[in-house]
Chain A
Amino acid sequence: MQEIVDATIENIAVSQRTNLEVFSGTLQHLAQTDRDIIVVTSDSRGSGKLVPFGQKFPEQIIEVGIAEQNLVGVAAGLASTGKKVFAVSPACFLTARALEQIKNDVAYSNNPVKLIGISAGVSYGALGSTHHSLHDFAVLRTINNMMIVAPADNFEAEQAILLAAESDIPVYIRFGKKQMPLLSEDEKTFEFGKGRIVREGSDLTIIGAGETVAPALRAAEKLRREHHVAAAVVSMHTIKPLDYDLLRDIAATGQPVITVEEHSVYGGLGEACASFLIQHDFHNRFKIMGIPDEYTVTGSQTEIFNHYGISEGGIAAAALGLIS
Chain B
Amino acid sequence: MLKVMSEKELTQKSVEYRKKILKYIYQAKAGHTGGSLSCIDILNVLYNYTMDVDPGHFDSPDRDRYIQSKGHTVEALYVVLASRGFFPESDLETLCKYQSHYIGHPTRKVHGVEQNTGALGHGLSLSVGTAIAGKLDKRDYRVFTVLGDGELPEGSNWEAALSASHYKLDNLCAILDKNTLQISGPTSAVCNTDPVDEKFGAFGWAVRHVDGHNIAELMAAFDALPFEKGKPSLIIAHTVKGKGVSYMENQLKWHHGVPDPKQYADAIQELDLLEETLS
The answer to whether A and B belong to the same complex is: yes
Contact mask B156-187 → A, CB, 8 Å, 1/0?
10011011001100000000000000000000
Partner of B125, one of A79, A82, A101: A101
Contact B122 A105 (CB under 8 A): yes
- Assign chain A's interface to a size class: 20 to 34
| Known contacts A62-B132, A104-B119; is-contact A69 B114 (Cβ 8 Å) | no
CA distance A64 to B167 in the complex (A): 9
Check: B79 CB closer than 8 A to any chain A CB: no
Given contacts A74-B129, A80-B126, A111-B115, 10 further A-B contacts (CB under 8 A): A64-B163, A65-B159, A70-B159, A73-B126, A77-B129, A77-B132, A79-B129, A80-B114, A80-B115, A100-B119
Contact B108 A73 (CB under 8 A): no
CB of A77 to closest CB in B, whole Å: 2
Check: B117 CB closer than 8 A to any chain A CB: yes
The B-contacting residues of A in range 47-79, CB under 8 angstroms, are 59, 62, 64-65, 67, 69-70, 72-79
Contact A69 B108 (CB under 8 A): no
Contact B125 A77 (CB under 8 A): yes
CB of B112 to closest CB in A, whole Å: 14
CA distance A64 to B125 in the complex (A): 10
CA distance A64 to B131 in the complex (A): 14
Contact B116 A73 (CB under 8 A): no
Contact B115 A109 (CB under 8 A): yes
Q: A residues within 8 A CB of B156? A: 69-70, 73, 101
CB of B5 to closest CB in A, whole Å: 28
Check: A83 CB closer than 8 A to any chain B CB: yes
The B-contacting residues of A in range 97-124, CB under 8 angstroms, are 100-101, 104-105, 108-111
Contact mask B100-140 → A, CB, 8 Å, 1/0?
00000000100000111111011011111111111011000
Contact B134 A81 (CB under 8 A): yes
| Known contacts A69-B155, A69-B159; is-contact A81 B126 (Cβ 8 Å) | no
Partner of B130, one of A62, A80, A100, A101: A80
| Known contacts A74-B129, A77-B127, A81-B133; is-contact A64 B159 (Cβ 8 Å) | yes
Partner of A78, one of B61, B114, B129: B129
Which partner residue on chain B sits nearest A82 by CB separation?
B61
Partner of A108, one of B61, B116, B124, B130: B116
Q: B residues within 8 A CB of A78? A: 129-130, 132-133
Contact A105 B133 (CB under 8 A): no
A selection of 7 A-B contacts at a CB cut-off of 8 Å is A65-B163, A69-B156, A74-B129, A76-B126, A77-B133, A104-B119, A111-B115
Contact A74 B122 (CB under 8 A): no
Contact B125 A73 (CB under 8 A): yes
Q: B residues within 8 A CB of A73? A: 122, 124-126, 128-129, 156, 160
Partner of B137, one of A70, A72, A80, A81: A81
Contact A74 B137 (CB under 8 A): no
CA distance A65 to B116 in the complex (A): 25
Contact B163 A70 (CB under 8 A): yes
Q: Which residues of A are in contact with B by a Cβ distance under 8 Å? A: 38, 59, 62, 64-65, 67, 69-70, 72-83, 100-101, 104-105, 108-111
Contact A105 B160 (CB under 8 A): no
Q: A residues within 8 A CB of B159? A: 64-65, 67, 69-70
Q: A residues within 8 A CB of B131? A: 77
CA distance A105 to B163 in the complex (A): 17
CA distance A288 to B227 in the complex (A): 60
CA distance A205 to B187 in the complex (A): 59
Which partner residue on chain B sits nearest A103 by CB separation?
B119
Which partner residue on chain B sits nearest A77 by CB separation?
B129
Partner of A104, one of B118, B136, B167: B118
Which partner residue on chain B sits nearest A60 by CB separation?
B136
Which partner residue on chain A sits nearest B128 by CB separation?
A74
CB of A107 to closest CB in B, whole Å: 9
CA distance A38 to B126 in the complex (A): 15
Which partner residue on chain B sits nearest A67 by CB separation?
B159
| Known contacts A73-B125, A77-B126; is-contact A105 B134 (Cβ 8 Å) | no
CA distance A81 to B114 in the complex (A): 10
Q: B residues within 8 A CB of A70? A: 125, 128, 156, 159-160, 162-163
Q: A residues within 8 A CB of B163? A: 64-65, 67, 70, 74
Q: B residues within 8 A CB of A83? A: 133, 136
Contact B122 A101 (CB under 8 A): yes
CB of A54 to closest CB in B, whole Å: 15
CA distance A45 to B203 in the complex (A): 24
Q: A residues within 8 A CB of B160? A: 70, 73-74
Q: A residues within 8 A CB of B122? A: 73, 100-101, 104-105
Contact B108 A77 (CB under 8 A): no
CB of B174 to closest CB in A, whole Å: 13
| Known contacts A69-B155, A81-B61, A81-B134; is-contact A75 B162 (Cβ 8 Å) | no
